[in-house]
Chain A
Amino acid sequence: AQSVTQPDIHITVSEGASLELRCNYSYGATPYLFWYVQSPGQGLQLLLKYFSGDTLVQGIKGFEAEFKRSQSSFNLRKPSVHWSDAAEYFCAVAPGPYKLIFGSGTRLLVRP
């Protein structure tokens, strides 16, 4: 069965520091991969997605993610974190049309 693992429940970084959020998936073929951000009590906003092609994808708000097939990973990165980036981040995989499977999320805390 398809699954998504986000091994870090929460991460704390200092403002201005770099960030990497981990995501591993389990799927037989190359899935569609997504990163979403959720602010408290809010819905989800798409940060970026990977369907095919260049394995390094750029998203909004300065985020990027790299698809590594050999590691079944799709880690999210940002070179310099801002206080407004504090939120919950979800990695998701879509093995087929229209059906997202979400990881358990990583809560990002930003130290001033």
Chain B
Amino acid sequence: GAVVSQHPSRVICKSGTSVKIECRSLDFQATTMFWYRQFPKKSLMLMATSNEGSKATYEQGVEKDKFLINHASLTLSTLTVTSAHPEDSSFYICSAQQEEYEKLFFGSGTQLSVL
């Protein structure tokens, strides 16, 4: 089946630095990608919808200047957490959608820990 690769799987950084997370669709073109944030023992919260070649659409309450999303190609979307702080520590998951809901695939997630 289709695969979505997310990298890195785990990252530890110092407070104030920026971290980039990549999400790649390996065997299909994803016109739309999504970024979710998952807190411990909590549900996944949609952060933003990323469309190839256009600006991302952010959900209410998500700081677009802190969470920069770039969807430069049909197979790659990146999430950059700028000036990370300990409260940004979380599990971030991307998903890529081809055309229909049955073709929505999730990456394996990135555990971000900000010291």
A interface vs B, CB < 8 Å? 9, 32, 34, 36, 41-46, 49, 51, 90, 94, 98-105
Contacts and interface: CB of A to CB of B under 8 A. Distances in A.
A100 B49 CA distance: 11
Interface of B: 4, 6, 9, 32, 34, 41-46, 49, 91, 93, 95, 97, 101-102, 104, 106-109, 111
A46 B100 CA distance: 13
Interface centre among B32, B49, B104, B111 (most CB of A within 10 A): B104
Nearest to A107: B41
A43 B109 contact: yes
A9 B41 CA distance: 9
Contacts of A94: 101
A44 B43 contact: no
A46 B34 CA distance: 15
B69 to A, nearest CB: 15
Given A94-B101, A98-B34, A103 B106 contact: no
Contact of B49 (A90, A99, A104): A99
A98 B32 contact: yes
B108 A99 contact: no
B44 A102 contact: yes
B101 A99 contact: no
23 contacts: A9-B41, A32-B101, A34-B101, A36-B106, A43-B6, A43-B93, A43-B108, A43-B109, A44-B93, A46-B102, A51-B101, A90-B44, A94-B101, A98-B32, A98-B34, A99-B49, A100-B34, A100-B46, A100-B104, A101-B46, A102-B45, A104-B43, A105-B41
